[in-house]
Chain A
Amino acid sequence: GESVGLHLPTLSVQEGDNSIINCAYSNSASDYFIWYKQESGKGPQFIIDIRSNMDKRQGQRVTVLLNKTVKHLSLQIAATQPGDSAVYFCAENSPPGQLTFGSGTQLTVLP
């Protein structure tokens, strides 16, 4: 079946640098995507979402980019802080009516 996947299971960045977390999806019919952040011992927390009629959406220090041509989603975190260390999941609304989550990327912010 079609699924959401992540390119890198782990990512380490220096504090203050920008982080980019990538996600590939395979269902071209998906029209809604979400990024979640999960800190150790906690539930996933909503970060930002984007619908397929958009290419880019910005939040506070975060930007999500959607490239429908290559079915690619990315999360950019500006000026990464220690509190950003967590596992980041992308999710798509596939199959219809459900959210399917990717395997996650562990982001580690180095001092």
Chain B
Amino acid sequence: DAGVIQSPRHEVTEMGQEVTLRCKPISGHDYLFWYRQTMMRGLELLIYFNNNVPIDDSGMPEDRFSAKMPNASFSTLKIQPSEPRDSAVYFCASSLNRVTDTQYFGPGTRLTVL
């Protein structure tokens, strides 16, 4: 099993640019989660999906952030326009059936906004 796959692993961009992060969950998992990790705030849940449908997006910081899951094997997290304070490591995770089943994390995308 390849596990959760994320791309890119590193992204450096300039303020104001659009950033798109990608995630492929583990096959057969019904839940997908997007997290952001910073030294100041730790690991924060941004949004999660069940069967491709967004369930809770209350953690999305602003309208500049949006997430989609067009099918069971792909999700994107988009930031437009990006700002320096968005610099963080973004993780995608998936779980099998229930939201509190073990979540398996991807390797993360380290985003730096200059």
Is the beta-carbon distance between A97 and B99 smaller than 8 angstroms?
A: yes
* B91 to A, closest residue via Cβ: A43
Interface of chain A residues 30 through 82 with chain B (CB within 8 A):
32, 34, 36, 41-46, 49
Taking the nearest CB of chain B, how far is it from the CB of A5, in angstroms?
11
Q: Of A43, A89, A99, A104, which one neighbours B107 at CB under 8 angstroms? A: A43
Taking the nearest CB of chain B, how far is it from the CB of A55, in angstroms?
19
Is the beta-carbon distance between B45 and A46 smaller than 8 angstroms?
A: no
A89 vs B102: C-alpha distance when bound (angstroms): 14
Query: How many contacts A-B (CB < 8 Å)?
Result: 45
A108 vs B103: C-alpha distance when bound (angstroms): 25
Is the beta-carbon distance between A93 and B104 smaller than 8 angstroms?
A: no
* A94 to B, closest residue via Cβ: B100
A63 vs B2: C-alpha distance when bound (angstroms): 28
Extra contacts, 9 of them, besides A44-B91, A49-B102 (Cβ < 8 A), are: A43-B4, A43-B93, A43-B106, A43-B107, A46-B103, A93-B99, A93-B100, A97-B55, A101-B43
10 A-B contacts (beta carbon < 8 Å): A34-B103, A41-B107, A42-B108, A43-B4, A43-B93, A45-B105, A93-B99, A97-B56, A98-B48, A98-B99
Binding site for B on A (CB under 8 A): 32, 34, 36, 41-46, 49, 89, 93, 97-104
